[in-house]
Structure 1
Amino acid sequence: MADSSKLTLPTFARRMSLREKVADALRGAIVSGEMKPGELYSAPDLAERFGVSATPVREAMLDLVKQGLVNPVRNKGFQVTAVSEADLDHITRIRELLEPPAAGEACGHITPELLTTLQSLAGDIVAAAAEGDLIRYIGADHEFHRRLLGAGGNHRLVRIVEDLRSQSRLYGLASLAEAGQLVRNALEHVQMCDLIQAGKADDLEDLMRTHIGRVRREWAGRPS
């Protein structure tokens, strides 16, 4: 049984509605590679780590089962599903086809209020990168891209992209953070905000394409 005490998961003690929060944290741990394929994770152990009861953890895990991120192991717990290199290549290719043009289209629909939110999220991403907090990084990154693409109004596309992002694995994040390179990548979100503010939709589309390609190379631990 894997030791959940080594995972850098947040604590949600004394809160009532925790299912989605726990699911988001676990999803971040899976995507970042902190929770590893093939290892067993029990709901009680994770619940102790979170500082909550086992019920919202089990419910969150069942949500992740439906998303294909973990598999239940009878009377033992859950295992993170493995994703092949070919699958990761396919996910990246689909994202490259969908996200850059969607971001360019969304650029002209972003209100000043939403831009302020995106700038705040970009700041959170940079701060998390500087601190090496990978789960917080992935959470803020996910929210940034969800809100950016959502401005285009195609919510079906947003759901597809969210599903693809959840199936990704970014095993290279830890080494990038240790080498001090993750902040450089995080700053691309600040650049995106600057391009949105300047109304440069084509440049935003180009940057998004570069950003996604780097996810597959550097962030996934495959430099070339």
Structure 2
Amino acid sequence: MHETARARIPAQKVLRHSVRGQVLDALRAALVDGDLVPGEIYSGPALGERFGVSATPVREAMQQLALEGAVECLPNRGFRVLTRTPGAMAELAEVRALLEVPVMLRLARTVPSEVWAAMRPAAAATVEAAEAGDLAGYAEADRRFHREVLALAGNAQLLQVAEELHRRAQWPLPGAARTPRAVLVAEAGEHTALLEALVAGDLALSDSLIHAHAHP
């Protein structure tokens, strides 16, 4: 593993319980934050040293990331973070819109206002993370909000596919500047505005906001 790449991974200790899950969460956050750099190779032992754990849970977590399309396994070398292109990210956005928009439009017409009102804490969590400039925290809150909305459709397969697409769409492009806090705040505000339109039963505004949020 390159020393410059190692330096970008913040040193932190991982508690011993649920080690693999904690390492996986930490690596996912590092992907979103840009601490795991596209094109760089990372070894299990070196990352384990950074997290204060053995190489085994790191390798297990990395194998999960490989299944998710974030890294590729390099026998006897480690794991390379895959490089994404603007075209690939645009394709992800298109697929997400094709999948989520029809479902959300249907839900807007069938879900009672009190159910939408109960989702205000999830929307507020995205605003809180955005205002703090917490990229990884915002990414998690954003996925949680969308997951709660789509869960109303009662389709487990939809949730699984949408979650994977959403996670992939949050990985930054190589060399991309850190997402400004103002952009995060604006995106989080869209959640709040949409939710309030749904609570109010304003279908015209809800439809407009759903399309706008899916096609920024």
**Same fold per superposition (TM over 0.5):** yes
Greater mean alpha carbon deviation, residues 91-100 or residues 160-169 = 160-169
Change (3 A) 1:141 1:52: farther
Deviations 1:67-122 (A, max 9, x none): 22111122232111122222222111111222122122234336846743x32222
Note the 1:202-213 alignment, pairs <5 A.
202-213=204-215
Change (3 A) 1:193 1:206: same
Between the aligned partners of 2:13 and 2:199, the Cα distance in structure 1 is 36
Change (3 A) 1:96 1:53: same
Paired residues, number: 210
Look up the equivalent residue of 1:45 and give its one-letter code: A
Query: Which residue is equivalent to 1:83?
Result: 84
Structure 1 residue 181, shift from structure 2 partner: 3.4
1:185 is matched with which residue: 169, 187, 195? 187
Does residue 95 (structure 1) correspond to residue 99 (structure 2)? The answer is: no
Look up the equivalent residue of 2:189 and give its one-letter code: L
Structure 1 residue 186, shift from structure 2 partner: 1.5
Between the aligned partners of 1:34 and 1:167, the Cα distance in structure 2 is 16
Note the 1:4-43 alignment, pairs <5 A.
4-7=6-9, 13-43=14-44
Misfit runs of 4+, over 6 Å: none
Structure 1 residue 14, shift from structure 2 partner: 2.5
Does residue 174 (structure 1) correspond to residue 175 (structure 2)? The answer is: no
Look up the equivalent residue of 1:194 and give its one-letter code: E
Does residue 74 (structure 1) correspond to residue 81 (structure 2)? The answer is: no
Query: Which residue is equivalent to 1:133?
Result: 134
Between the aligned partners of 1:119 and 1:85, the Cα distance in structure 2 is 33
Between the aligned partners of 1:5 and 1:201, the Cα distance in structure 2 is 50
Note the 1:107-118 alignment, pairs <5 A.
107=108, 108-109=110-111, 112=114, 115-116=117-118, 118=119
Query: Which residue is equivalent to 1:143?
Result: 144
Structure 1 residue 148, shift from structure 2 partner: 0.8
Between the aligned partners of 1:84 and 1:14, the Cα distance in structure 2 is 35
Query: Which residue is equivalent to 2:199?
Result: 197
Relative to the length of structure 2, the TM-score reads 0.81
- Give the match's secondary structure for 1:83: coil
- Give the match's secondary structure for 1:181: helix
Between the aligned partners of 1:32 and 1:201, the Cα distance in structure 2 is 36
Look up the equivalent residue of 2:111 and give its one-letter code: H
Look up the equivalent residue of 2:104 and give its one-letter code: A
Bigger Rg, which one = 2
Change (3 A) 1:72 1:195: same
